[in-house]
Structure 1
Amino acid sequence: MDVSPPEPIPGARLLFSHDAAVAHLNHGAFGMVPVAVQRAQQRVREEMESNPHRFFAVGLEERVAHVRRHLAGFVGADPEGAALVENASTGTSIVLGSLDLVAEDEIVTTDHGYGAVDLAVAATCRRTGAVHRVARVPLEADDAAITAAVLEATTARTRLVIVDHITAATARLIPVQRIVEAVRERWGDQAAVLVDAAHVPGILDPDVSALGADYWVGNLHKWAFAPRGTALLAVAPARRNRIRPLVLSWSAEAGFPASLEWVASHDYTPWLAAPTGLFVLRTLGIETVRRHNVALAEYGQRAVAAAIGAELPPATGLPMTLIPLPPGVAGDPEAAVALRRRISDDLAAEVGLTAWRGRGYLRLSAQIYNRPEDYHRLAAGLPALIERRATSR
């Protein structure tokens, strides 16, 4: 089916300082900070360097609290039950470090989870003797099947369930509301749920308080135009007094959220500039940006899938799309990294590549600075690259 790309948002490409000679098709990895946000952060940095003692000692706590309230409002979280942290992985490690696990307690994740989270869970299990159980969820599973698979992996020993709202590896939307309700119905308070919403702010309209998860963590620096190092960890009221900071500093006894936010000479400039990112997003029109990005991601997916003869996966309504690579191509993590670097070097295109269940998948993102020709470039050069990789094994 011939589908036309969306009309570009006027002037959107000029809002960024990226290298225009490169097709940046992996926004979901590190985001892209608008120039206005870069300048806002630089102004704060200059303020800090002009008098570091005054910057840290006078009024900074109130400024950070103001930012927290602003960002919490954006995702529907209680500002008194949320803390600014560096990223979703940091928030996850804080949660894991705050649990009093003992031998044979269980942590449940899915096989769509983020690799760094799996590493943190493995380290926690080694330290405590807990057991990591993984729910295997087919790529094509519907909401009911996903919920059933997660629930089936839980037992009376389950103490934490970690689920992605939008999966990084497979660009899937997970029914986290249903999973939270199902786990709560079966296990009550004995099994907490952590929603890894790393990609959610800016893509979806979460209502964190209504979700009812014990823990929720989302990055603002991916799709909400904040500087990198800006994320929010929200904690349910009953669990806030159990949160332990990863680093003990002068606010260690102040309790949540101050004990997490005040860590010595932390760089607070990304957090203080983050509201400017939301201002840019709202000025453009949040729904306008979302519609554009989803439509362009689906257009790019079709173009690249057709070029390599790949079956088109079902549409997800997300600005990240997945394309299966031919069997034997990038089927393990090392091969996926090698192909991603070759695409970067030879095609001047930055993409996401993952090996999942022994199959290589290309993940493409779309943001308002992208154009159809970015995907055309990848589509034109990728078949030959794949052929060379396949014949060189």
Structure 2
Amino acid sequence: MAAAVSDWSTLWDARPGWLNTASYGLPPRLAYTALDTVLDQWRHGSSDWAPWDESVTRSRTLFARLIGAQPADITVSSSASHIISAIATALPDGATVLVPDIEFTSNVFPWAVAARVRTAPADRLAEHITPGTTAVAFSLVQSATGQVTDPAPIVEAARARGCLVIADASQACGWLPFTVQGLDAVVCAAYKWLMAPRGAAFGYLSPLLRERMRPLAANWYGAAERDSGYYGMPLRLADDARAFDLSPAWFSYVGAAPALEVLLTLGVAAVGEHNLALANRLRTELGRPPSDSPILSLDADPARLAAAGIRAAVRAGRARLSFHAYNTHADVERVLEALR
């Protein structure tokens, strides 16, 4: 049974004032304990690596459940940009990729290396998809401003033009319920709202997209049968998304699996409601209208926030605050007191 919302913060060891999940999330105590145990095993050589690797399989299955996909369509990596670079191999010569005019570089640079890049405002991407557009890539939630992008009109316009649709969900997975329906790919760095150690990342790759991709980072972990994939030819990669796996950083997934389990137990929709309630209370107190994002940017002195014990980020010249499951109304009060 999920803990009552009033008890959520007891699942973490978060110090008051952490409002920077958009930079990195804090691990649930279960995740930190699991990682600490495995690090001790590594230190003493008291365990084989196989139990650590089971965490990768668990994490893949849990992430698939989170976004309404099948585990066979999920690839694992260490960064979102690596997965996007692999997806870029599906582009033909002379391809054009449409991206928002404000977009994190991990969802821009891989496309710029492989194709011509055009930009448009995030809320007008659909109308800028033309017959010459090969793919459109965007973030479901923009990292600097928290702007949420509805994928439905983009998917509709893209299908009419026959182009690919790739969504970066690094700032969405963990609080924003969505599914992969209509999307060719979804990538997610897991160290933010999924609260995993940095070094774990997931990607949904549709079967039709995989047919166009090349596994340029092919390795032993993507073998159809790993026990027979340690040495030599012939090439024998898995026939599903595992063919695009990067050999995993085991410890990152040891922390990822229990973090995902906690998140799914609480419920992504419930977490999203909790996060929005806190962020919108702050907006209301500051005389701003409510929004659909737990990320907000303020014209506030970062030093003043830091002096009040608020750990936030600065993006695009503004203080960026972000609320997650371990935050409480006391964090809102702390911000208000600092701004007063």
TM-score, normalised on structure 2? Answer: 0.82
User: What are the superposed Cα offsets for residues 310-341 of structure 1, whole Å, 9 maximum, x if unpaired?
Assistant: xx2x4333322344x3xxx8xxxxxxxxx64x
Q: Please give the per-residue CA displacement for 1:248-291, whole angstroms capped at 9, x wherever unaligned.
A: 4334641453343352xx42122234231133234445444332
Using the alignment, how far apart are the partners of 2:308 and 2:270 within structure 1? 30
- Counterpart selection for 1:160 from 122, 135, 153: 135
1:95 aligns with 2:87: yes
Contact 2:74/2:242, CA 8 A, preserved across alignment:
no
2:312 is aligned with 1:354? no
Deviations 1:85-136 (A, max 9, x none): 224333223222x234424x311101232233233333x1xxx5x3211012
- The answer to whether residue 282 in structure 2 is matched with residue 300 in structure 1 is yes
CA distance in 2, matches of 1:150, 1:363: 24
Between the aligned partners of 1:285 and 1:100, the Cα distance in structure 2 is 36
Which of 31-40 and 343-352 deviates more? 343-352
- Structure 1 residue 175 displacement after superposition: 1.3
Aligned to 2:226: none
CA distance in 1, matches of 2:53, 2:27: 25
Counterpart of 2:62?
70
> TM-score when scaled to structure 1?
0.72
Q: Secondary structure at the match of 1:221?
A: coil
Structure 2 residues without counterparts, runs of 5 or longer: 223-234
CA positional deviation for 1:233 = 0.5
The equivalent of 1:280 in structure 2 is 262
**Is 221-230 or 32-41 further displaced after alignment?**
221-230
The structure where helix makes up a greater share of residues is: 1
Cα deviation digits, residues 166-208 of structure 1 (max 9, x gap): 12122122111221121111x12xx211011112222122221
Paired residues, number: 323
Q: Which residue of 1 aligns with 2:217?
A: 247
Counterpart Cα distance in 2 of 1:343 and 1:115: 29
Show the counterpart of 2:187. Answer: 217
Q: Which consecutive unaligned segments of at least 5 residues does structure 1 have?
A: 1-7, 138-145, 307-311, 330-338, 384-393
CA RMSD after TM alignment:
3.0
Structure-1 separation of matches of 2:91 and 2:214: 11
Maintained 8 Å contact 2:107/2:138 = no
Distance 2:143 2:159 in 1: 25
Shift of the 262–117 alpha-carbon distance from structure 1 to 2, 3 Å rule, reads: closer
- Whole-Å Cα distance in 2 between the matches of residues 155 and 284 of structure 1? 41
CA contact (8 A) 1:173 1:316 kept: no
State which structure, 1 or 2, has the greater radius of gyration over its C-alpha atoms.
1
Give the structure 2 partner of residue 82 of structure 1.
74
Distance 1:75 1:48, change over 3 A: farther
Partners of 2:154 and 2:30 in 1: CA distance: 39
> Equivalents in 1 of 2:315, 2:52: separation in Å?
41
| Residues 49 and 95 of structure 1, relative CA distance in 2, 3 Å threshold | farther
Alignment correspondent of 1:234: 204
CA distance in 1, matches of 2:40, 2:241: 27
Inter-partner Cα distance in structure 2 for 1:62 and 1:243 = 27
Distance 2:151 2:267 in 1: 26
Conserved 8 A contact 1:228-1:270? yes
Partner of 2:121: 136
